[in-house]
Amino acid sequence: MLTPEQVLASHKANVETLFGLTNKAFEGVEKLVELNLQVARTALTEVADTTTSVLSVKDAQELLALQTALLQPSAEKAASYSRHVYDIASGTSTEVAKIAESQLADAQKKFNALVESTAKNAPAGSENVVALMKSAISAANNAFESVQKATKQAVDVAEANFQAATTQAVKATQATTRKKAA
């Protein structure tokens, strides 16, 4: 049986975990806001510079050269922005996952301790039921660990694919820009 003190301690730990997760989420949002402010400042400066450059163009050839020069950095900046957003989201997700895994491991320990305590206090003749229950818990833990490993592998593959796609998009844009310039 759980005592009121144990229940209170459990609730307190859950509230602390909730606030920890909330703080991690807010840190991620803060990083995204900072990134977006930085991008907005840079874009404003670039728009002013581009406007000045366009107003000083003397002929169509010069305008075409200016347009070509502006296209390539834009694609690279978009890819860089996407990478930064992905890194922020991935980092925040990793932190939340660590906290969740820690809480789950703690809950598993407590549950296993409860099962052991129950097994010790079980009436005679219930050994088969206790063994079956321990076996089921062990199978569930193994299944969970397998799912966790598969999820981590899937995330690693998705991250590698994202990086490859971003790199390919930038290369394709650079190639197209070079062709137009030629």
140-163 pLDDT, tens digit each: 878 877 887 887 788 778 778 777
| Helix boundaries (H) for 56-126 | 60-120
CB 92 within 8 A of CB 24: yes
Structure confidence at residue 96 (pLDDT): 85
Give CA–CA dist 77/5, Å, rounded.
Answer: 55
Domain total for the chain? 1
CA distances from 141 to 51, 93, 136, 147, 150 (A): 62, 22, 9, 10, 14
pLDDT tens digit sequence for 22-43:
998 999 999 999 999 999 999 8
Residue 176, pLDDT above cutoff 70: no
Tokens of 6: 């144990």
CB 24 within 8 A of CB 90: no
Enclosing domain of residue 80: 4-181
What is residue 59's three-state secondary structure? Answer: coil
Residue percentage of the chain with pLDDT more than 90: 14
pTM as predicted: 0.63
Structure confidence at residue 173 (pLDDT): 67
Residue 167, pLDDT above cutoff 80: no
pLDDT tens digit sequence for 69-123:
777 777 788 888 988 998 898 888 888 888 888 887 887 787 777 777 777 777 7
Please give the torsion angle defined by the CA atoms of residues 88, 93, 96 and 100, in that order, rounded to the nearest 10 degrees: -170
Residue percentage of the chain with pLDDT more than 70: 93
